[in-house]
């Protein structure tokens, strides 16, 4: 029996998880990520949480096939309420940034755990929620998986004052083998091409400036 195959995004998420005794996978869905982390002994034990009974059943069946069931504690509690004991890492992947931000607002002690986050939408809102929670982003990895661009963040306790530009575009974008920051930003520019409003014009200009910074292609005279 082999562990489940992870796509490029989930493999990057897995690579960002530090070796630890106990980690939590919030919104675990099918459980593939947790199974990989346990199989590779990146994590000794996992809290696997999902509010969907069907998802928990699929994950349970996967862990059972791989002989990992005894190293897993399941939870149906929403968000960070699944943290029934201190963990070294909390993984939240594949959910909207707004949903993740609401989780970070929950009155649950994170005990200094590293956060590994892969938001699908509303990234500025999630950056702001991290800042309010007194967490700072170490790196925002950009990755391309199955034709789409994603980000995977690592965050640890610490102050993170954000300018409006940083809140919108991120901090410390880092390339991976599948994508460079300029690739991600160019894609983002296409995504907002149909958006309207003065704030969009500012965002569009910020992205163009960031692409120029990344590529070194600045215009100007002598």
**Measured between alpha carbons, how far is 25 from 91 in angstroms, rounded to an integer?**
5
Q: 146-173, pLDDT tens digit by residue?
A: 999 999 999 999 999 999 999 999 989 9
- For residues 12 and 122, membership in a common domain is answered with yes
Q: Are 181 and 174 in contact (CB under 8 A)?
A: yes
Q: Are strands 72-75 and 20-26 parallel, antiparallel or unpaired?
A: unpaired
CATH assignment at residue 82: 3.40.50.150
Number of domains in the chain: 2
Q: Which residues does 101 contact at the CB level (< 8 Å), separation at least 6?
A: 122, 125, 126, 128, 129
- For residues 91 and 194, membership in a common domain is answered with no
Q: Are 116 and 90 in contact (CB under 8 A)?
A: yes
**Is 139 strand, coil or helix?**
strand
Q: CA torsion angle for 64, 65, 67, 71 (degrees, to 10)?
A: -40
- For residues 77 and 92, membership in a common domain is answered with yes
- For residues 53 and 29, membership in a common domain is answered with yes
- For residues 15 and 120, membership in a common domain is answered with yes
Partners of residue 149 on adjacent β-strands: 144
3 occurs within a structural domain: no
The pTM score is 0.94
Q: Are 150 and 172 in contact (CB under 8 A)?
A: no
Q: Are 149 and 140 in contact (CB under 8 A)?
A: no
Q: 79-110, pLDDT tens digit by residue?
A: 999 999 999 999 999 999 999 999 999 999 99
Per residue of the chain (222 residues), give pLDDT as tens. Answer: 788 899 999 999 999 999 999 999 999 999 999 999 999 999 999 999 999 999 999 999 999 999 999 999 999 999 999 999 999 999 999 999 999 999 999 999 999 999 999 999 999 999 999 999 999 999 999 999 999 999 999 999 999 999 999 999 998 999 999 999 999 999 999 999 888 888 899 999 999 999 999 988 654 432
54 occurs within a structural domain: yes
Domain residues for the domain of 217 are 180-222
Q: Residue 16: left (phi > 0), alpha (psi -120 to 50), or beta?
A: alpha
136 occurs within a structural domain: yes
Count of beta carbons in the 10 Å neighbourhood of residue 129:
19
- For residues 95 and 65, membership in a common domain is answered with yes
């Amino acid at each position: 029996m082999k562990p489940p195959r992870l796509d490029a995004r989930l493999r990057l998420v897995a690579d960002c998880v530090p070796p630890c005794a106990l980690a939590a996978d919030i919104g675990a869905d099918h459980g593939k990520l947790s199974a990989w982390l346990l199989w590779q002994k990146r994590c000794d034990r996992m809290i696997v949480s999902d509010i969907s009974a069907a998802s928990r059943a699929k994950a349970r069946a996967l862990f059972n096939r791989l002989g990992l069931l005894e190293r897993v504690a399941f939870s149906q509690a929403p968000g960070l309420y699944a943290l029934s004991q201190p963990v070294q890492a909390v993984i939240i992947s594949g959910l909207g940034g707004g949903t993740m931000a609401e989780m970070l607002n929950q009155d649950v002690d994170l005990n200094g755990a590293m956060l590994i986050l892969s938001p699908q939408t509303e990234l500025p809102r999630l950056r702001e929620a991290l800042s309010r929670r007194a967490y700072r982003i170490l790196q925002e990895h950009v990755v391309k998986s199955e034709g789409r661009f994603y980000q995977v963040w690592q965050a640890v306790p610490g102050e993170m004052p954000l300018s409006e530009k940083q809140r919108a575009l991120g901090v410390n974008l880092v390339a991976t083998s599948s994508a460079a920051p300029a690739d991600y930003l160019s894609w983002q520019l296409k995504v907002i091409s149909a958006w309207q409003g003065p704030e969009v014009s500012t965002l569009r200009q910020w992205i163009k400036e960031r692409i120029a910074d990344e590529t070194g292609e600045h215009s100007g005279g002598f």
